[in-house]
Amino acid sequence: MHILIVDDEPMVRSSIARIVNALGEAYVAYEADDGEDAIAIIQAETIDLVITDIRMPAIDGLQLADIVRRMYPHIRVVLLTGYSEFEYALSALHSGVYEYLLKPASKNSLLSLIRKVDEELQQERTQHKLGRLRENIVMEKRIQEMLYDLPVPHADKDLFPDCRSLAVFVIRANAAELPERSLRFAMKNVVEELLGKAGKAAVIVEGSHLVAVLLSAAESEQRMDCEGLSSEIADVLGRLYRIELTILHAAGSGNLADLGLLYMDCMRRLNGVDANGLDKRPSTERDECHRLVKITRRWIEEEYAGELTLASAAQRLFVSPNYLSVLFKSQTDMTFTQHLVQVRIGKAKELLAETQLKIYEICEKVGYADQAYFSRLFKAATGKTPYEYRESVTL
Protein backbone atom coordinates (compact mmCIF):
# COMPACT_ATOMS: atom_id res chain seq x y z
CA MET A 1 0.00 0.00 0.00
CA HIS A 2 1.47 3.37 -1.06
CA ILE A 3 0.69 6.34 1.19
CA LEU A 4 1.50 9.98 0.42
CA ILE A 5 1.85 12.34 3.39
CA VAL A 6 1.43 16.03 2.49
CA ASP A 7 2.26 18.67 5.11
CA ASP A 8 4.43 21.77 5.17
CA GLU A 9 5.70 20.81 8.64
CA PRO A 10 8.62 18.38 8.28
CA MET A 11 8.18 16.97 11.78
CA VAL A 12 4.55 16.00 11.10
CA ARG A 13 5.44 14.37 7.78
CA SER A 14 8.36 12.36 9.15
CA SER A 15 6.38 11.24 12.20
CA ILE A 16 3.56 9.79 10.07
CA ALA A 17 6.06 8.32 7.59
CA ARG A 18 7.83 6.43 10.41
CA ILE A 19 4.51 4.89 11.49
CA VAL A 20 3.79 3.80 7.92
CA ASN A 21 7.26 2.35 7.26
CA ALA A 22 7.16 0.43 10.55
CA LEU A 23 4.23 -1.61 9.22
CA GLY A 24 6.53 -3.55 6.91
CA GLU A 25 7.66 -3.79 3.29
CA ALA A 26 4.11 -3.88 1.98
CA TYR A 27 3.66 -0.26 3.06
CA VAL A 28 5.56 2.60 1.42
CA ALA A 29 5.47 6.23 2.59
CA TYR A 30 6.03 9.20 0.26
CA GLU A 31 6.39 12.77 1.51
CA ALA A 32 5.46 16.15 -0.04
CA ASP A 33 5.62 19.60 1.56
CA ASP A 34 2.81 21.15 -0.48
CA GLY A 35 0.04 20.37 -2.98
CA GLU A 36 2.18 20.96 -6.07
CA ASP A 37 4.81 18.41 -4.97
CA ALA A 38 2.00 16.02 -4.05
CA ILE A 39 0.53 16.16 -7.56
CA ALA A 40 3.95 15.50 -9.09
CA ILE A 41 4.39 12.40 -6.91
CA ILE A 42 0.88 11.14 -7.68
CA GLN A 43 1.65 11.43 -11.41
CA ALA A 44 4.90 9.50 -11.03
CA GLU A 45 3.91 6.82 -8.49
CA THR A 46 0.99 4.51 -7.77
CA ILE A 47 -0.63 6.08 -4.71
CA ASP A 48 -3.48 4.46 -2.76
CA LEU A 49 -3.97 6.95 0.08
CA VAL A 50 -3.19 10.67 0.51
CA ILE A 51 -3.02 12.10 4.04
CA THR A 52 -2.86 15.87 3.72
CA ASP A 53 -2.94 18.93 5.94
CA ILE A 54 -5.63 21.49 5.12
CA ARG A 55 -3.56 24.65 5.53
CA MET A 56 -0.65 24.77 3.08
CA PRO A 57 0.85 27.41 0.74
CA ALA A 58 -0.03 27.41 -2.97
CA ILE A 59 -2.40 24.43 -3.34
CA ASP A 60 -4.01 23.68 0.02
CA GLY A 61 -5.47 20.38 1.23
CA LEU A 62 -9.00 20.98 -0.02
CA GLN A 63 -7.80 22.06 -3.45
CA LEU A 64 -5.56 19.00 -3.60
CA ALA A 65 -8.47 16.77 -2.58
CA ASP A 66 -10.60 18.23 -5.37
CA ILE A 67 -7.88 17.66 -7.98
CA VAL A 68 -7.37 14.07 -6.81
CA ARG A 69 -11.12 13.40 -6.84
CA ARG A 70 -11.44 14.59 -10.43
CA MET A 71 -8.25 13.10 -11.89
CA TYR A 72 -7.55 10.07 -9.67
CA PRO A 73 -10.91 9.00 -8.18
CA HIS A 74 -9.53 5.66 -6.95
CA ILE A 75 -7.21 7.44 -4.44
CA ARG A 76 -8.58 8.02 -0.94
CA VAL A 77 -7.89 11.47 0.55
CA VAL A 78 -7.76 12.03 4.31
CA LEU A 79 -7.57 15.55 5.75
CA LEU A 80 -5.44 16.49 8.76
CA THR A 81 -7.20 19.30 10.57
CA GLY A 82 -7.02 21.25 13.82
CA TYR A 83 -9.97 22.03 16.09
CA SER A 84 -10.34 25.48 14.58
CA GLU A 85 -10.80 23.94 11.13
CA PHE A 86 -13.02 21.08 12.24
CA GLU A 87 -16.30 22.35 10.76
CA TYR A 88 -14.47 23.27 7.56
CA ALA A 89 -13.04 19.75 7.25
CA LEU A 90 -16.35 18.14 8.10
CA SER A 91 -18.09 19.92 5.23
CA ALA A 92 -15.39 18.60 2.88
CA LEU A 93 -16.55 15.04 3.55
CA HIS A 94 -19.48 15.79 1.27
CA SER A 95 -17.07 16.74 -1.52
CA GLY A 96 -15.47 13.33 -1.92
CA VAL A 97 -12.96 13.47 0.95
CA TYR A 98 -12.67 9.99 2.45
CA GLU A 99 -12.06 10.86 6.10
CA TYR A 100 -10.47 13.41 8.43
CA LEU A 101 -8.09 13.16 11.39
CA LEU A 102 -7.68 15.73 14.15
CA LYS A 103 -4.15 17.04 14.68
CA PRO A 104 -2.02 15.89 16.27
CA ALA A 105 -3.13 12.48 14.99
CA SER A 106 -2.40 9.63 17.39
CA LYS A 107 -0.58 6.50 16.29
CA ASN A 108 -3.65 4.37 16.98
CA SER A 109 -5.93 6.57 14.88
CA LEU A 110 -3.46 6.47 11.99
CA LEU A 111 -3.10 2.70 12.20
CA SER A 112 -6.86 2.22 12.39
CA LEU A 113 -7.33 4.40 9.30
CA ILE A 114 -4.61 2.63 7.31
CA ARG A 115 -6.01 -0.83 8.17
CA LYS A 116 -9.51 0.28 7.16
CA VAL A 117 -8.31 1.56 3.79
CA ASP A 118 -6.14 -1.52 3.27
CA GLU A 119 -9.07 -3.87 3.88
CA GLU A 120 -11.22 -1.94 1.41
CA LEU A 121 -8.47 -2.06 -1.21
CA GLN A 122 -8.07 -5.81 -0.73
CA GLN A 123 -11.80 -6.31 -1.17
CA GLU A 124 -11.82 -4.15 -4.30
CA ARG A 125 -8.89 -6.09 -5.78
CA THR A 126 -10.61 -9.39 -5.03
CA GLN A 127 -13.83 -8.20 -6.64
CA HIS A 128 -11.89 -6.91 -9.63
CA LYS A 129 -10.13 -10.27 -10.04
CA LEU A 130 -13.44 -12.14 -9.78
CA GLY A 131 -14.99 -9.80 -12.31
CA ARG A 132 -12.10 -10.31 -14.72
CA LEU A 133 -12.30 -14.07 -14.19
CA ARG A 134 -16.02 -14.10 -14.98
CA GLU A 135 -15.42 -11.97 -18.07
CA ASN A 136 -12.66 -14.33 -19.23
CA ILE A 137 -14.90 -17.36 -18.74
CA VAL A 138 -17.69 -15.79 -20.78
CA MET A 139 -15.27 -14.60 -23.47
CA GLU A 140 -13.79 -18.10 -23.70
CA LYS A 141 -17.26 -19.58 -24.09
CA ARG A 142 -18.11 -17.09 -26.82
CA ILE A 143 -14.85 -17.86 -28.65
CA GLN A 144 -15.66 -21.57 -28.47
CA GLU A 145 -19.06 -20.88 -30.00
CA MET A 146 -17.51 -18.74 -32.76
CA LEU A 147 -15.24 -21.65 -33.71
CA TYR A 148 -18.44 -23.32 -34.90
CA ASP A 149 -19.82 -20.16 -36.51
CA LEU A 150 -22.35 -19.40 -33.78
CA PRO A 151 -23.14 -15.68 -33.37
CA VAL A 152 -21.96 -13.67 -30.37
CA PRO A 153 -24.74 -12.03 -28.31
CA HIS A 154 -24.55 -8.27 -28.73
CA ALA A 155 -24.22 -7.77 -24.97
CA ASP A 156 -21.00 -9.83 -24.92
CA LYS A 157 -19.18 -8.07 -27.75
CA ASP A 158 -17.55 -5.61 -25.35
CA LEU A 159 -15.73 -8.51 -23.69
CA PHE A 160 -13.33 -8.73 -26.61
CA PRO A 161 -10.29 -6.45 -26.72
CA ASP A 162 -9.60 -4.40 -29.81
CA CYS A 163 -7.44 -6.48 -32.13
CA ARG A 164 -5.98 -5.99 -35.58
CA SER A 165 -4.97 -9.59 -36.13
CA LEU A 166 -5.83 -12.97 -34.72
CA ALA A 167 -4.49 -16.50 -34.89
CA VAL A 168 -5.84 -19.95 -34.12
CA PHE A 169 -3.56 -22.75 -32.88
CA VAL A 170 -4.72 -26.37 -32.77
CA ILE A 171 -2.55 -28.47 -30.46
CA ARG A 172 -2.80 -32.25 -30.49
CA ALA A 173 -0.69 -34.90 -28.80
CA ASN A 174 0.94 -37.38 -31.14
CA ALA A 175 -0.37 -40.14 -28.87
CA ALA A 176 -3.95 -41.36 -29.33
CA GLU A 177 -5.32 -38.87 -26.80
CA LEU A 178 -4.33 -35.87 -24.76
CA PRO A 179 -3.39 -36.74 -21.17
CA GLU A 180 -5.95 -37.02 -18.36
CA ARG A 181 -8.36 -34.15 -17.83
CA SER A 182 -6.49 -32.43 -14.98
CA LEU A 183 -3.29 -32.41 -17.03
CA ARG A 184 -5.11 -31.01 -20.06
CA PHE A 185 -6.22 -28.03 -17.99
CA ALA A 186 -2.68 -27.59 -16.68
CA MET A 187 -1.49 -27.51 -20.30
CA LYS A 188 -4.23 -24.97 -21.07
CA ASN A 189 -2.89 -22.63 -18.38
CA VAL A 190 0.67 -22.94 -19.73
CA VAL A 191 -0.43 -22.17 -23.30
CA GLU A 192 -2.46 -19.16 -22.14
CA GLU A 193 0.58 -17.80 -20.32
CA LEU A 194 2.89 -18.31 -23.31
CA LEU A 195 0.50 -16.71 -25.80
CA GLY A 196 -0.42 -13.96 -23.34
CA LYS A 197 2.93 -12.33 -24.04
CA ALA A 198 1.77 -11.62 -27.59
CA GLY A 199 -1.80 -10.49 -26.89
CA LYS A 200 -5.04 -11.69 -25.34
CA ALA A 201 -5.23 -15.48 -25.35
CA ALA A 202 -8.06 -17.95 -24.78
CA VAL A 203 -7.56 -21.73 -24.80
CA ILE A 204 -10.39 -24.23 -25.30
CA VAL A 205 -9.99 -27.82 -24.07
CA GLU A 206 -11.49 -30.31 -26.50
CA GLY A 207 -11.43 -34.09 -26.20
CA SER A 208 -8.59 -34.76 -28.60
CA HIS A 209 -6.89 -31.37 -28.79
CA LEU A 210 -6.51 -27.84 -27.45
CA VAL A 211 -7.64 -24.82 -29.45
CA ALA A 212 -5.79 -21.60 -28.64
CA VAL A 213 -7.01 -18.25 -29.97
CA LEU A 214 -4.71 -15.23 -29.87
CA LEU A 215 -6.09 -11.71 -30.28
CA SER A 216 -3.32 -9.23 -31.00
CA ALA A 217 -3.05 -5.48 -31.38
CA ALA A 218 -0.37 -6.01 -34.03
CA GLU A 219 -1.28 -4.41 -37.36
CA SER A 220 -0.91 -7.63 -39.37
CA GLU A 221 -0.83 -11.34 -38.71
CA GLN A 222 2.78 -11.55 -39.94
CA ARG A 223 3.94 -9.64 -36.86
CA MET A 224 2.62 -12.32 -34.48
CA ASP A 225 5.34 -14.87 -35.33
CA CYS A 226 3.01 -17.86 -35.17
CA GLU A 227 5.84 -20.24 -36.06
CA GLY A 228 7.92 -19.01 -33.14
CA LEU A 229 4.97 -19.25 -30.75
CA SER A 230 4.17 -22.78 -31.94
CA SER A 231 7.76 -23.87 -31.41
CA GLU A 232 7.81 -22.36 -27.93
CA ILE A 233 4.55 -24.09 -26.97
CA ALA A 234 5.83 -27.46 -28.24
CA ASP A 235 9.14 -27.02 -26.44
CA VAL A 236 7.70 -25.94 -23.08
CA LEU A 237 4.89 -28.52 -22.99
CA GLY A 238 7.29 -31.21 -24.17
CA ARG A 239 9.71 -30.49 -21.34
CA LEU A 240 7.02 -30.12 -18.68
CA TYR A 241 4.86 -33.11 -19.55
CA ARG A 242 7.13 -35.32 -21.70
CA ILE A 243 4.68 -35.28 -24.56
CA GLU A 244 5.14 -34.87 -28.33
CA LEU A 245 2.77 -32.46 -30.01
CA THR A 246 1.55 -31.51 -33.44
CA ILE A 247 0.66 -27.83 -33.65
CA LEU A 248 -1.01 -26.18 -36.64
CA HIS A 249 -1.92 -22.51 -36.88
CA ALA A 250 -3.82 -20.15 -39.13
CA ALA A 251 -3.77 -16.35 -38.93
CA GLY A 252 -5.94 -13.58 -40.26
CA SER A 253 -7.08 -10.00 -39.78
CA GLY A 254 -8.83 -8.84 -36.63
CA ASN A 255 -12.28 -9.88 -37.87
CA LEU A 256 -13.69 -12.24 -35.23
CA ALA A 257 -16.10 -13.65 -37.80
CA ASP A 258 -13.08 -15.39 -39.40
CA LEU A 259 -12.42 -17.56 -36.35
CA GLY A 260 -14.53 -20.45 -37.62
CA LEU A 261 -12.78 -20.46 -41.00
CA LEU A 262 -9.32 -20.35 -39.42
CA TYR A 263 -10.23 -23.19 -37.06
CA MET A 264 -11.62 -25.37 -39.83
CA ASP A 265 -8.50 -24.71 -41.90
CA CYS A 266 -6.35 -26.00 -39.03
CA MET A 267 -8.56 -29.03 -38.47
CA ARG A 268 -8.57 -29.97 -42.17
CA ARG A 269 -4.78 -29.86 -42.29
CA LEU A 270 -4.48 -31.66 -38.97
CA ASN A 271 -6.74 -34.47 -40.18
CA GLY A 272 -5.18 -34.68 -43.64
CA VAL A 273 -8.04 -33.12 -45.58
CA ASP A 274 -7.13 -30.94 -48.56
CA ALA A 275 -8.69 -27.61 -49.53
CA ASN A 276 -11.29 -29.43 -51.69
CA GLY A 277 -12.50 -31.47 -48.75
CA LEU A 278 -10.85 -34.69 -49.91
CA ASP A 279 -9.48 -36.91 -47.14
CA LYS A 280 -5.94 -37.93 -48.08
CA ARG A 281 -5.32 -40.24 -45.12
CA PRO A 282 -5.45 -44.03 -45.07
CA SER A 283 -8.79 -45.44 -43.89
CA THR A 284 -7.31 -46.41 -40.52
CA GLU A 285 -6.46 -42.78 -39.80
CA ARG A 286 -9.90 -41.63 -40.90
CA ASP A 287 -11.46 -44.18 -38.56
CA GLU A 288 -9.43 -42.79 -35.66
CA CYS A 289 -10.66 -39.31 -36.49
CA HIS A 290 -14.24 -40.57 -36.13
CA ARG A 291 -13.54 -42.14 -32.72
CA LEU A 292 -15.75 -39.68 -30.83
CA VAL A 293 -18.66 -40.36 -33.17
CA LYS A 294 -18.19 -44.12 -32.81
CA ILE A 295 -18.24 -43.84 -29.04
CA THR A 296 -21.36 -41.66 -29.14
CA ARG A 297 -23.18 -44.07 -31.45
CA ARG A 298 -22.29 -46.98 -29.18
CA TRP A 299 -23.70 -45.10 -26.18
CA ILE A 300 -26.91 -44.43 -28.10
CA GLU A 301 -27.21 -48.16 -28.92
CA GLU A 302 -26.64 -49.11 -25.29
CA GLU A 303 -28.39 -46.27 -23.44
CA TYR A 304 -31.26 -45.32 -25.74
CA ALA A 305 -33.78 -46.07 -22.97
CA GLY A 306 -32.15 -43.66 -20.51
CA GLU A 307 -31.70 -39.91 -20.40
CA LEU A 308 -28.77 -39.68 -22.81
CA THR A 309 -28.53 -36.24 -24.43
CA LEU A 310 -26.09 -34.43 -26.69
CA ALA A 311 -24.95 -32.33 -23.71
CA SER A 312 -24.36 -35.33 -21.45
CA ALA A 313 -22.47 -37.22 -24.18
CA ALA A 314 -20.29 -34.17 -24.87
CA GLN A 315 -19.55 -33.79 -21.16
CA ARG A 316 -18.43 -37.42 -20.93
CA LEU A 317 -16.17 -36.94 -23.96
CA PHE A 318 -14.76 -33.64 -22.60
CA VAL A 319 -15.79 -31.70 -25.70
CA SER A 320 -18.32 -28.95 -26.25
CA PRO A 321 -21.87 -29.90 -27.36
CA ASN A 322 -21.40 -27.68 -30.43
CA TYR A 323 -18.26 -29.51 -31.45
CA LEU A 324 -19.84 -32.96 -31.00
CA SER A 325 -22.95 -31.84 -32.87
CA VAL A 326 -20.97 -30.60 -35.88
CA LEU A 327 -18.71 -33.66 -35.88
CA PHE A 328 -21.62 -36.10 -35.54
CA LYS A 329 -23.58 -34.49 -38.37
CA SER A 330 -20.53 -34.38 -40.64
CA GLN A 331 -19.86 -38.11 -40.17
CA THR A 332 -23.42 -39.53 -40.10
CA ASP A 333 -25.45 -37.04 -42.17
CA MET A 334 -27.93 -36.77 -39.29
CA THR A 335 -28.06 -34.98 -35.99
CA PHE A 336 -27.52 -36.63 -32.62
CA THR A 337 -31.25 -36.38 -31.87
CA GLN A 338 -32.25 -37.81 -35.25
CA HIS A 339 -29.97 -40.80 -34.69
CA LEU A 340 -31.28 -41.32 -31.15
CA VAL A 341 -34.89 -41.27 -32.42
CA GLN A 342 -33.96 -43.69 -35.22
CA VAL A 343 -32.49 -46.17 -32.73
CA ARG A 344 -35.42 -45.84 -30.35
CA ILE A 345 -37.97 -46.37 -33.10
CA GLY A 346 -35.99 -49.38 -34.36
CA LYS A 347 -36.04 -50.93 -30.88
CA ALA A 348 -39.75 -50.18 -30.57
CA LYS A 349 -40.43 -51.98 -33.87
CA GLU A 350 -38.59 -55.04 -32.56
CA LEU A 351 -40.59 -55.06 -29.33
CA LEU A 352 -43.89 -54.58 -31.18
CA ALA A 353 -43.11 -57.49 -33.47
CA GLU A 354 -41.55 -59.92 -31.01
CA THR A 355 -43.32 -59.32 -27.67
CA GLN A 356 -46.80 -58.96 -26.25
CA LEU A 357 -45.85 -55.87 -24.22
CA LYS A 358 -48.45 -53.14 -24.15
CA ILE A 359 -47.68 -50.06 -26.20
CA TYR A 360 -47.23 -47.82 -23.14
CA GLU A 361 -44.74 -50.36 -21.78
CA ILE A 362 -42.80 -50.32 -25.03
CA CYS A 363 -42.92 -46.52 -25.00
CA GLU A 364 -41.19 -46.48 -21.58
CA LYS A 365 -38.67 -49.16 -22.54
CA VAL A 366 -37.37 -47.10 -25.46
CA GLY A 367 -36.98 -43.91 -23.45
CA TYR A 368 -40.26 -42.00 -23.76
CA ALA A 369 -42.52 -41.01 -20.87
CA ASP A 370 -45.28 -39.54 -23.07
CA GLN A 371 -47.12 -42.21 -25.10
CA ALA A 372 -48.85 -39.66 -27.35
CA TYR A 373 -45.50 -38.08 -28.25
CA PHE A 374 -43.98 -41.53 -28.88
CA SER A 375 -46.88 -42.45 -31.16
CA ARG A 376 -46.45 -39.26 -33.21
CA LEU A 377 -42.71 -39.93 -33.63
CA PHE A 378 -43.37 -43.56 -34.55
CA LYS A 379 -45.93 -42.65 -37.20
CA ALA A 380 -43.68 -39.93 -38.62
CA ALA A 381 -40.89 -42.50 -38.98
CA THR A 382 -42.91 -45.52 -40.22
CA GLY A 383 -46.14 -44.11 -41.63
CA LYS A 384 -48.12 -46.19 -39.12
CA THR A 385 -49.15 -45.93 -35.49
CA PRO A 386 -47.56 -48.45 -33.11
CA TYR A 387 -50.86 -50.41 -33.06
CA GLU A 388 -51.11 -50.43 -36.87
CA TYR A 389 -47.50 -51.53 -37.16
CA ARG A 390 -48.02 -54.44 -34.74
CA GLU A 391 -51.10 -55.52 -36.65
CA SER A 392 -49.21 -55.46 -39.96
CA VAL A 393 -46.26 -57.58 -38.77
CA THR A 394 -48.19 -60.15 -36.76
CA LEU A 395 -50.76 -61.16 -39.37
Tens of pLDDT, residues 197-233: 888 888 888 766 888 888 887 665 446 788 899 999 9
**Quick one: average pLDDT of 361-386?**
92
- Give the model's pLDDT for residue 367: 93
Whole-angstrom Cα Rg for the chain: 33
Identify whether the C-beta of residue 205 lies closer than 8 Å to the C-beta of residue 320.
Answer: no
pTM of the predicted structure, to 2 decimals:
0.46
Would you place residue 346 in the very low, low, confident or very high pLDDT band (cuts 50, 70, 90)? very high
How far apart are alpha carbons 200 and 107 in whole angstroms? 46
3-state secondary structure of 170: strand
Alpha helices in the chain (DSSP H): 10-21, 35-44, 61-71, 86-92, 107-147, 181-195, 226-241, 259-270, 283-289, 291-303, 310-317, 321-332, 336-354, 359-365, 371-382, 386-394
| Domains in the chain with CATH codes | 2-121 (3.40.50.2300), 161-279 (3.30.70.270), 290-395 (1.10.10.60)
